[in-house]
Amino acid sequence: MSNNNDLKSLDLTVGDVFAQNPRLKARNVSVFYGDNKAIDNVTIDIGNKEVISFIGPSGCGKSTFLRCFNRMNDTIDSCIVKGKITIDDENIYDKKIDVVPLRARIGMVFQKPNPFPKSIYDNVAYGPRIHGLSENKDHLDGIVEESLKRAGLWEEVSDRLDSAGTGLSGGQQQRLCIARAIAVSPEVILMDEPCSALDPIATAKIEELIHELGNDYSIVIVTHSMQQAARVSKRTAYFHLGKLIEVGRTKDIFTRPQHHQTEAYISGKIG
């Protein structure tokens, strides 16, 4: 791969890759698992305080790409990431960057709700504790309450903060995980298929929550349900076999997509 392929990826990607005042910039990112190329030369901006969704058929690499933003791929030995991803013009893959504070700035919510086997209070308080974000117990109590309120969970659990986090229903557990991510005051929240393990009502509630959170955080959602992307996000990016095919406003993608592959996927002609 030559060095001046900054724009080469744009030959393949249709639509508005760049954003005004972006929070995160990915430039020519490729990801390999051993010899297997999972993401091929992707360039995209994540805008400030916007909700953007990544859609595409299974195995197209959208989850892999998402995990590049908070370097979760570091935990997999065979995974190699090439290219640049910058936040505030700092490359997050630079050797000097400490991954621990990075993951406080860029939080993550996973597919299967995974609260710690601790109390509800301790779940939310864990992040602020290890990063030293609170000055005293009262301050920590305040952070926990505010995070649970923003996640729409406070009213349901305020009287039982000491009970186990794993004793909640699926939808509540996922909101607890969102509260946990919010508690460390991130700038970006990454969500990897956050509703795929939930029933339709719980899903609708989480989607409404994402809509509200979009006013304060930049949110990137990976979803295998394009209807969810249509409901929840302002911008949508379509991936296919590791390549970014099209990016644009969700309205436009779903009413008049520009690329024929996008059209085929959205109308259910390819899986």
Q: CB 104 → another protein: shortest distance, Å?
A: 4
Q: Judged by CB, which is closer to another protein: 81, or 177?
A: 177
Side chain identity, residue 116: F
Q: CB 110 → another protein: shortest distance, Å?
A: 6
Q: CB 186 → another protein: shortest distance, Å?
A: 9
Binding region for another protein (CB under 8 A): 70, 72, 75, 77, 100-104, 107-108, 110, 112, 114-117, 126-127, 130-131, 166, 177, 180-181, 184, 201, 204-205, 207-208, 211, 227, 230-231, 250-251, 254-255
The answer to whether the CB of 55 falls within 8 A of the CB of 254 is no
Side chain identity, residue 232: V
Q: Judged by CB, which is closer to another protein: 9, or 220?
A: 220
Q: Where are the alpha helices (DSSP H) in 114-259?
A: 120-131, 137-150, 154-157, 170-182, 200-213, 226-232, 250-255
Cα separation, 41 vs 29, whole angstroms: 5
Parallel/antiparallel/unpaired status of strands 188-192 and 106-109: parallel
146, HSE (Cβ side, Cα atoms, 13 Å)? 11
φ and ψ at residue 156, rounded to 5 degrees: -80, -25
Signed CA dihedral, 48, 51, 56, 61: sign only: positive
Q: CB 176 → another protein: shortest distance, Å?
A: 11
Q: Judged by CB, which is closer to another protein: 86, or 185?
A: 185
Q: Judged by CB, which is closer to another protein: 205, or 224?
A: 205
Q: Judged by CB, which is closer to another protein: 118, or 149?
A: 118
Q: CB 11 → another protein: shortest distance, Å?
A: 28
Q: Judged by CB, which is closer to another protein: 187, or 207?
A: 207
Q: CB 211 → another protein: shortest distance, Å?
A: 6
Distance of CA 157 to the CA centre of its chain: 26
> Residue 74 carries which DSSP code?
G
